[in-house]
Structures are given as structure tokens and as C-alpha cells.
Amino acid sequence: MHAIHPNVRTTPAARADIARSHEPSGVLARRYGVSTETILQWRKRGPEDCQDRSARPHTLRWKASEEERAIVCALGRSTGFPLDDLTFVVTHFLPHLNSDAVYRILKAERLNRLPPAHQSRKPHGKFEEHEVGLLHMDVKHLRK
């Protein structure tokens, strides 16, 4: 069973009643607190199709062509730049691509995460052993 959105004005049962009704659209619109366009929509669908449909787009509209996507992916692989830097470079020769479009392209190719750095980090050191009574102090300079 589908969940009904809490702000919806008509339930599937009310929509089926609207679709079956022969009353004028204005009367039904006032009764259910919706517009006449909504009444016409449910009448057009019919009493069998009164469930909510997904409002999510099923296909993404790409701003980039196949060639442009290949360029972005090649740049991402070869440079290893983070998203902001890659977008800065890409927008010089593909100005219609913004940061969101570059991210979608990288994510579709599973290049949205940088590989771990190949450099090994310096291991954490230990404090030197001193006699009792000495104090070890780290000094940090903070910005104003």
C-alpha cells in the first residue's frame, strides 16, 4: 500500500469519487478544496488510476555531451584534482558546466572520490623520557 502524504487534500478514495462523479468541476473543486484543474486531472485518469505517482524525474538531463563527459573524466583521472579545482579548470573551456554538472559526471563514472594518497604518513612519535620535574610544553601560534 502506498503512503499518503500528510499535506494531501484528496485521498485515493476521494479521487475515485471525483473520477466517477458527473457533477460540475467547480462544485467538486469547492467541496474538496482543490482547483478545477486538479478535478479535470483525476477525471482524465479515471477511477482505476487514483494512486499518487512519483514526481521524481526518471532520466537526468545532461548538460554535457558524450565527448564533454569523456573530457571531464579524463581530466579527473589524470590530475586527481578535488571537485572545486577540477570545476575551475573545466569551466575555462566548457563554460556551460557548473560544479553540480561536473560532480554528476564524476559520480556516474564512480570518480567522485579521490583515491587514498600513496604517501605514507610519518608515524606518530613518542615523547622523550625525562626525569621527574621537567615539563614538556607545545607552543601553538593562533591567528588573530
Domain ranges of the chain: 12-45, 66-108
On whether the CB atoms of residues 44 and 19 are closer than 8 A, the answer is no
What was the pLDDT predicted at 23?
92
- Tens of pLDDT along 72-120? 999 998 888 889 999 999 999 899 999 999 999 999 888 887 666 665 6
Burial class (CB in 10 A: 0-12, 13-18, 19+), 29: middle
Whole-structure pTM value: 0.44
Q: What is the mean pLDDT of residues 46-69?
A: 81
- Tens of pLDDT along 12-26? 888 898 999 999 999
Mean pLDDT of the chain: 84
